Amino acid sequence: MGVLGGCERLSVASSGACMTDATEVLGAGVASQAESHGSHLRGWRLTLGRVGWVVFALVAVGLNVIALPDAYGGFVNLGQPTLHDLARLGLSPTLYTILAIAVNASVPVADLALSVLLMWRRSDDRMALFCAFTFVAFGGGASLFQFGSGTIVPSLAHNAVLRLLALALFASGEAALILFFYLFPSGRFAPGWTRWAAILVIAFYLAVIVNPTVVSNQASGPTPFLVPLFLLSAAVAQAARYRRSTPREREQTKWAVFGLALAAVFLAITLPIFVLVVPTSLQNDPVASNLNPIFQIALLLIPIFITIAILRSRLWDIDTVINKTLVYGALTALLAIVYVGLISGLQALFGLLVGRAASDPLALVLSTLTIASLFQPARRAIQSVIDRRFYRRKYNAEKTLALFSATLRSEVDQEQLYDHLRAVVSETMHPTHVSLWLRPSPGVRRDQ
């Protein structure tokens, strides 16, 4: 006799998990198809969007090529004192310019590459098309604007046409980034107040084209507070629309928010380390600071995860990614603290006992062996804590099923097995009613 489980042979009433999950999946599929149908571009609109993106990208690339030394090299306007700094750091002007361009151009180049990828894979989708425009405008425009003075880089500022194009590219990139979070992931403004906020955002950045100093570091009055207010409204819009999103849209939102959170955590960890480890003389050095890749790495994470949210969110389980990130992030931090503490403590102890010269290698070896032995127990403990704290329902279901599997290996009484099966289904799926049908084993007569 076989014990047959699963939704095919378990009759679960309306609030049961099988029927509930099936209903949610079916509803999500219908809603997703409807949204996908409504968000696709066809005909002349699709052609206009593709041609517009090509022209827009060519203008952005052309402006950045013209402004290459000013925007990325960081050498043309540094002057004679910097030449002494370069000699002190052992860098030639050519090598420094190459390194500065490689570091500072990484974000615009990556944004352009991701924009090309979106156009290649999903150019007929309105949200993907808008995201492709946003990447080009934001990545290419921010590098052309000098926030300290509120002006365009000198190589473009002397020509009226190039200056206007650069300002338009910068303003459209800043505005598109905010509008993106008003629209993402469905491509529609939600909640309703975001339409009015979008009008205010567009009006503000049109004013930036006329008077770019309103977003400079020296700006005064209420205008410097508008940009943080816009960013806050974008975050509020994402939080407000999350509950009313379809399951697929929620997965996309999780991917985008995860990228933002990862960038913020990266900055929160690396900036204090940079301040503590790097000498103050290098921190204040204009040459060294221009080669610092911390902010570029953080900015790269955001468009990468947004692209994943648009293209590949249905292939990868974001909850698993978040879970593993929490586990291994906490594990790394814990073991690093323990490792540093062990080395310091053992060096101090052995220094008193056998002298400092002999203490360093021994302390290093003992600390490494201790960390190696603690890795798996610490990982399991952290995994258990995170599962109980953030994935309680899934954790309880897995524990219950594990206990049931152990029971199957030792249980021989049929009635007891039925009771255990019904208990497991009730605890993990919470149905209002459970019925069990069993198929007779081959060769067994019905009258037996």
- DSSP assignment of 389-400: HH-HHHHHHHHH
Does residue 84 lie within any of the structural domains? yes
Does residue 59 lie within any of the structural domains? yes
Same domain, 310 and 338: no
* Domain extent at residue 95: 40-316
Same domain, 329 and 308: no
- Count of the separate structural domains present in the chain: 2
Cβ neighbors of 179 (< 8 A, separation 6 or more) are: 130, 134, 198, 201, 202
The list of the chain residues with pLDDT below 70 reads 1-39, 73-89, 217-222, 281-283, 286, 313-319, 350-351, 353-360, 389-448
For residue 85, the model assigns a pLDDT of 65
For residue 441, the model assigns a pLDDT of 61
Same domain, 263 and 285: yes
**Last residue of one domain, picked from the residues 375, 390, 405:** 390
Cβ atoms 132, 139 nearer than 8 A? no
Does residue 383 lie within any of the structural domains? yes
Does residue 9 lie within any of the structural domains? no
**Could you tell me which of 152, 150, 149 has the C-alpha nearest to residue 165?**
152
Same domain, 336 and 297: no
**Last residue of one domain, picked from the residues 374, 390, 406:** 390
For residue 6, the model assigns a pLDDT of 38
Same domain, 152 and 292: yes
Does residue 437 lie within any of the structural domains? no
Does residue 33 lie within any of the structural domains? no
pLDDT digits (tens, 9 = 90+) for 189-224: 888 899 999 999 999 999 889 888 888 766 666 677
Whole-model pTM: value is 0.68
Same domain, 305 and 361: no
pLDDT digits (tens, 9 = 90+) for 10-36: 443 434 444 334 334 334 444 444 344
Q: At what angle do helices 392-410 and 356-390 cross, to 10 degrees?
A: 90
Q: Give the distance from CA 89 to its chain's centroid.
A: 35
Question: Could you tell me the CATH number of the domain that includes residue 306?
Answer: 1.20.1070
Residue 292 CA: distances (Å) to CA of 276, 286, 423? 15, 10, 59
For residue 376, the model assigns a pLDDT of 85
Does residue 258 lie within any of the structural domains? yes
Same domain, 234 and 158: yes
Residue 83 CA: distances (Å) to CA of 75, 87, 181, 289? 9, 6, 44, 15
Element holding 146 (H helix, E strand): strand 145-146
**Last residue of one domain, picked from the residues 257, 283, 316:** 316
Same domain, 231 and 334: no
Same domain, 67 and 132: yes
Does residue 443 lie within any of the structural domains? no
Same domain, 372 and 239: no
**Could you tell me which of 171, 158, 142, 170 has the C-alpha nearest to residue 72?**
142
Percentages of the chain per state (helix, strand, coil), in multiples of 5 = 75, 5, 20
Same domain, 226 and 353: no
Same domain, 373 and 345: yes
